[in-house]
Chain A
Amino acid sequence: MTTATTAPASRPTPAGGSPGGRRRTLLQRRQTRTAWLLALPFLLLFAAFTAGPVFASLLMSFTDMRSTDVRTPFAVDLAAFDNYMALFQDALFRKVAVNTAIFVLVGVPLTMVLALAAAVGLNNITRLRAFFRLGYYLPVVTSIVAVSVVWRFLLQPDTGPVNQLLGAVGIGGPDWLGDPALALPSLIVMAAWRNLGTLMVIFLAGLQTVPRELLEAAEVDGAGRWQRFRHVTLPLLRPTLLFGAVITGIGYLQFFEEPFVMTNGGPLNATRSVSFYIYDQFSFGNYGYAAAASYVLFLAIVVLTAIQFRVLRPKA
């Protein structure tokens, strides 16, 4: 709903005074009604199936509910903010929070830069474009299990192709997934490789909206390739970059599959993420505690998204 009202604001409004306040409010009212009508199917489904559990989980995060209480869910004690306090006192939670922060702070820029580079490259070639586009996009649609099996094979310490390549040039490759210092970076690289396809397609679409005349005008003015990219293309891509940063940030804050199938959170919890921690807590039966951790993650997502909107919002 908020996007529906803010999006038109960035569009240039017709110059001149309003052609009549009454007509505009009528039009606005009609638009509002249409918006609600279009949102209705979602709202109904949300109210019927999601709102209850969401509300219940919020309540649950303030109780000491465990899986042994499932038959008597109201016979639990109120814990106020105890769960939240305990979370920040848990050394493991602090560790997984740091892991997740590193994953997001390194992974999101890395993925975006790679995706933008691929998109710019593809935008400038005409031959084989479809082929490369497919190639970069393929990891996105491949099952994470298949991807992880292949990557685990690639990263094998002794027999893996990565280390054999390194060995061929005289470097003894490390145990990528077994070394606590290298396991998380390895997963970040894999995640960037796996997710850059989606962003690349979005950026490619964004690049094609950059008016050719603007670029040509800049060229006539003597701007070089990099200057044109830096001062014409990038500013025009801002909304696209914002969208890319938001969806990648949300996805990376919740990263789970990669460590779940590749490293099982190890070695020494070096690749355990907040989502993984929440998953563990739910499976241990600590429902109240796990719900509290979920809301901390939810707040982190809200904060990150708000920051991204501030930093990358289109300049007026």
Chain B
Amino acid sequence: MSRRPIITATALAAATALALSACGRDDDAGSGDGNAAPSADLTDGPATGTIEVWAMGTEGELLGDFLADFEDANPDVTVEVTPVPWEGAHDRIATAIAAGETPDVSLIGTTWMGEFAATGGLEATPTDVFAEDDFFPGPWASTVVDGTSYGVPWYVETRALFYRTDLADAAGLEPPASWDDLKAFAQGLQQAGAQQGIYLQPGQGGSWQTFMPFAWQNGATLTDGDAYTLDSPEMTEALEYYMSYFSEGLSQDTVLQPGALEQLFADGSIGAFVSGPWHIGLVRDAGAADAFDVVPLPGKDEAPGTSFVGGGNLAVFTDSDNKDGAWKLIEYLTESAVQQSWYETATGLPSRPDAWEDGPLTEDPLVAVFGEQLEQTEAPPAVPTWEQVATVIDGNVEAAVRGTIPAADAVADMQSQASSIGTGLQ
């Protein structure tokens, strides 16, 4: 062989050594650029220039036309909306932040906030323009990473209890108001003819969204500052309660295929389930007509039950060259009246309580129930490693529900894995 490869290898090794000697974390690197003063010094007057916006799913398709009014009110502005599919959105935003080639504004899933904020790619929210009190507390909390808010809640979704009114009437049952009620409710629906009284997701992807509300109702917490606090008696007790639905045969312990839930609910095989507002339409399409109702989740003891809150936040990137216009656009999109007309356009639920008080959101009583539930919600912690810890919870919920480990062991395993993963906040 010639000597060339050796020379190349030496050069590569030298380059590596150089690169690595520049390595090493600064002690305060993580939050370095994040702790800027939360004020954007917005100019007075209309927005100008070009504002690039990324939005996912239905939002991305409908937002461009929806912003015609904004462009009329701000004649010197051009808004360019790029629809991004949800599937690739996370990686696309991560890549854009890495390359410094971001849009000005993007819709960001609530569970991604911790990760993107920790890169230093997001601007802190100017709290002189956006007041925390104007928004539901759970959704606002999803924007706060390590004490600083990095975005504004745009639309929200939460979970409530769907149930068959015909079965409940046959069993002479009122909507449940406590954990004991809920258990009796599921038993009653099953005796009235349902194959399973209530379908609770038995583990796998996203089952923490069904399980955690029970834990929150029992006073359990996910984090305290920058440490996970999964291992608590409250968590164990909630998991035992959750498991009892499976051991007593009130819910099946295998995950339903997509689309099966609506069908089984519509034909009365499933008496109740916990889900979000999109299921109103799905259940009606499946043929349940008016034979069902939605109520807020019951708490453990008579008190209102806490539910999970998710949705989408709007954030401005540090690499944006039109931050002024970007925040003005977000200000517009989070106005109460605009949120109401956005609901009529894309059925996105408003993140501000005052948008629920009149107008279109009061017209459908089933939708209004979700407004009621929003007063009592928790968001998962906005930390960079949340998605990974969520799968740890999913896995342990699945194992516990299938009876392979006791609740206390499942909770202990959640904690030991979560501790070794860490919150990523340093």
Residue A305 is within 8 A (CB to CB) of chain B in the complex: no
The answer to whether A267 touches B402, judged by C-beta atoms less than 8 angstroms apart, is yes
Residue A67 is within 8 A (CB to CB) of chain B in the complex: yes
Q: Specify the chain A residue showing the minimal Cβ separation from B117.
A: A68
Output the least CB separation between A22 and chain B (Å).
Answer: 22
Q: Could you say which of B26, B119, B203 contacts A67, with CB atoms under 8 Å apart?
A: B119
Q: Specify the chain A residue showing the minimal Cβ separation from B398.
A: A268
Q: Which of A73-81, A122-130, A207-215, A244-252 contacts B (4 or more CB under 8 A)?
A: A73-81
Please report the number of residue pairs spanning A and B whose Cβ atoms sit closer than 8 angstroms. Answer: 85
Residue B24 is within 8 A (CB to CB) of chain A in the complex: yes
The answer to whether A268 touches B25, judged by C-beta atoms less than 8 angstroms apart, is no
Q: Could you say which of A70, A77, A267, A284 contacts B398, with CB atoms under 8 Å apart?
A: A267
Taking CB atoms, residues of chain B closer than 8 Å to A77 are 23-25
Residue B391 is within 8 A (CB to CB) of chain A in the complex: yes
The answer to whether A71 touches B402, judged by C-beta atoms less than 8 angstroms apart, is no
Bound Cα distance from A144 to B16, whole angstroms: 41
Per-residue A-contact encoding for B148-191, CB less than 8 Å = 1, 0 else: 00000000000000000000000000000000000000000000
Q: Specify the chain A residue showing the minimal Cβ separation from B16.
A: A59
Size class of the A contact interface (CB-based, 8 Å): 20 to 34
Among A152, A264, A283, A284: residue with most chain B CB under 10 A:
A284
The answer to whether B203 touches A266, judged by C-beta atoms less than 8 angstroms apart, is yes
Knowing A70-B97, A71-B97, A72-B29 are in contact, say whether A264-B205 is a contact too (CB < 8 A): yes
Taking CB atoms, residues of chain B closer than 8 Å to A219 are none
Q: Could you say which of A72, A266, A267, A284 contacts B387, with CB atoms under 8 Å apart?
A: A284
The answer to whether A268 touches B402, judged by C-beta atoms less than 8 angstroms apart, is yes
Taking CB atoms, residues of chain A closer than 8 Å to B115 are 67-68, 285
Output the least CB separation between A152 and chain B (Å).
Answer: 7
A 270-298 contacts with B by CB, 8 A: 280, 283-286
Residue B192 is within 8 A (CB to CB) of chain A in the complex: no
> Can you list 14 pairs linking A and B with CB atoms under 8 Å apart?
A59-B16, A66-B424, A68-B118, A68-B119, A71-B121, A75-B25, A75-B29, A76-B25, A78-B24, A178-B255, A266-B203, A267-B398, A284-B387, A285-B384
Mark B residues whose CB is within 8 Å of A. 12, 16, 19-20, 22-26, 29-30, 90-91, 94-95, 97-98, 100, 115, 118-121, 203-205, 254-255, 257, 384-385, 387-388, 391, 395, 398-399, 402, 404, 424
Mark A residues whose CB is within 8 Å of B. 55, 59, 63, 66-78, 152, 157, 175, 178, 264, 266-269, 280, 283-286
Closest 5 CB pairs of A and B: A70-B98, A284-B388, A178-B254, A68-B118, A68-B119
